[in-house]
Amino acid sequence: MSLPAPCAGTHARAFLLFARSNLRVDFLGFFAAKPSARLAMTKKVIMTELKPARILAIETSCDETACAVLENGRTLLSSVVASQMEIHARYGGVFPEVASRQHVLSIIPVVQQALAQAHLTLNDIDAIAVTQGPGLAGSLVVGMNMAKGIALALGKPLVGVNHLEGHIYSAWLHEAGDVIPPAPQFPLMALLVSGGHTELNLMTDHLTYQRLGATLDDAAGEAFDKVARLLELPYPGGPSIQREAEEGDSARFNFPRAWLDGTWNFSFSGVKTSVLYEVQNLKKRSNGLPVHDLAASFQKAVVDVLFKKTMNAAREFGAKEILVAGGVSANRVLRQAFNNQTEFPVHIPPMSLCTDNAAMIAAAGYFRYALGHESTLEMDAMPNWALS
């Protein structure tokens, strides 16, 4: 297995960019600085200069076959997602073998469509980014082989991207033609809430993560999916619970909140078990379940913990801003909680970019490419690749 590592040309290229942008950095100060400080200064210049590049990205880590084309790190030219949701809904969750086969069937048309929507050909692309992990091994290799094939045929750089880093970088994206929203500013408190992960990361710079805490058991999205199954709601559970909760009373059931004081960790298995016991009791006592109220009360319990712990962590670590990303960041009540507070500017991706897509892989891939992180054709899938 090979981790993407800075290539030999990185520092030379970074230096050239630095040298061209001497309006922003004191040239003499650069040479007076220690080597580590020089690298940091160079990095800052690259990020403010936004080296022009068009990235084609591929994402196949789970059950979405996706391809996107992104310009200069933030401007989305196209994003195509072929969802297998309906197929997996029959099994109540993702069936790995079926997922890989569907990726094989969809990958070529999806890449062709992404290029067509961007009105570009492969020759217009500067680098290829692809999800290298974490995810289902059999699904990851389909996207990676496609990306390697394109990179090899074109002789263009290949960049392996961490899927979780992709979710975080979805907060940098905007559609072509939209007013460009302000980019997130560091230090940044990043809450990552997806189906497989729930973690708090302090970002002091691009591509730099200090993991403060993570879930000790179920991820928030996983808890949504499991509780939905208990309530006999369709997969995926998050949107189903949200829908049912719209008409529910979130104060009817007081489900437990695991604060895990003194740590930045999370735990969602307790609230899930508590819903299970409540459902069993209610079934014994009556015919129907108050699904709306159960869904609303469960959703409130999860959102309370995610919101309050993130706010406390942002205060404690002196973050300037907050970022919320991952599938669960599509949740309306969670978005409202963060958007209604005024203490910190908050970055949450547009709804269409919260769940898995390739635009976010292109965004993370762009920043990696700008810093010279290129991968080799030997890179292997990393199904358990942690962000930090």
Q: Minimum Å distance from CB 238 to ligand KG4?
A: 2
Binding to ligand KG4 by residue 297, rule CB under 6 A? no
User: Which residue in the set 157, 166, 184, 327 belongs to the binding site for ligand KG4 (CB under 6 A)?
Assistant: 327
Give the 3-state secondary structure percentages of the chain, helix then strand then coil, rounded to 5: 45, 20, 35
Residue with tokens 């560091």: 186
> What crossing angle do the helices spanning 237-245 and 291-316 adopt, rounded to 10°?
110
Whole-angstrom Cα distance, residue 158 to residue 209?
A: 22
Closest distance between Zn ion and the C-beta of residue 382, in Å? 15
Pairing verdict, β 64-71 and 54-59 = antiparallel
- 236's contact among ligand KG4, Zn ion, none, with CB below 5 to 8 A by partner kind, is ligand KG4
Site string for ligand KG4, 222-241 (x = CB under 6 A): x-xx----------xxxx--
Interatomic CA distance for residues 241 and 157, integer angstroms = 42
User: What DSSP assignment string belongs to 38-103?
Assistant: HHHHHHHHHHHHT---EEEEEE-SSSEEEEEEEETTTEEEEEEEEE-HHHHHTTTS--HHHHHHHH
221 binds, among ligand KG4, Zn ion, none (CB under 5 to 8 A by kind): ligand KG4
Region from 12-20, 193-201, 249-257, 284-292 binding ligand KG4, contact rule CB under 6 A: 193-201
Please give the Cα distance from 187 to 171 (Å, whole number): 15
The DSSP annotation for 327-353 comes to: GGGG-HHHHHHHHH--SS-EE---GGG
- What is the rounded CA–CA span in Å between residue 319 and residue 312? 10
Of 220, 178, 190, whose CA–CA distance to 347 is shortest? 190
Q: Which 8-state DSSP code applies to residue 322? A: E
- Comparison of 291 and 330: residue with beta carbon closer to Zn ion: 330
- Nearer to Zn ion by C-beta: 258 or 363? 363
Cα(55)–Cα(64) distance, integer angstroms: 19
- Of 242, 274, 297, 310, the residue at the interface with ligand KG4 (CB under 6 A) is 242
Residue 221 touching ligand KG4 (CB under 6 A): yes
Site membership for Zn ion, residue 356 (CB under 5 A): yes
Nearer to Zn ion, 45 or 219 (CB): 219
Please say which residue, 115 or 334, places its beta carbon nearer to ligand KG4: 334
Q: Does residue number 4 form part of the binding site for ligand KG4 (CB under 6 A)?
A: no
Q: Which of 196, 270, 290, 350: binder of ligand KG4 (CB under 6 A)?
A: 196
**Interface stretch with ligand KG4, choices 105-113, 136-144, 194-202, 372-380 (CB under 6 A):** 194-202
Nearer to ligand KG4, 187 or 383 (CB): 383
Burial of residue 85 (CB within 10 Å: 0-12, 13-18, 19+) is: middle
Query: Closest CB to ligand KG4 among 55 and 220?
Result: 220
Of the residues 79, 106, 194, 299, which one makes contact with Zn ion according to CB under 5 A: 194
Stretch of 3-11, 194-202, 300-308, 337-345 contacting Zn ion, by CB under 5 A: 194-202
- Determine, following the binding rule CB under 6 A, whether residue 166 of this chain makes contact with ligand KG4: no
Q: Per rule CB under 6 A, is residue 271 in the interface with ligand KG4?
A: no
* CA distances for 129 relative to 81, 231, 317, angstroms: 16, 39, 32
Positions that interact with ligand KG4 (CB under 6 A)? 62, 167, 194-196, 221-222, 224-225, 236-239, 242, 326-328, 330-331, 355-356
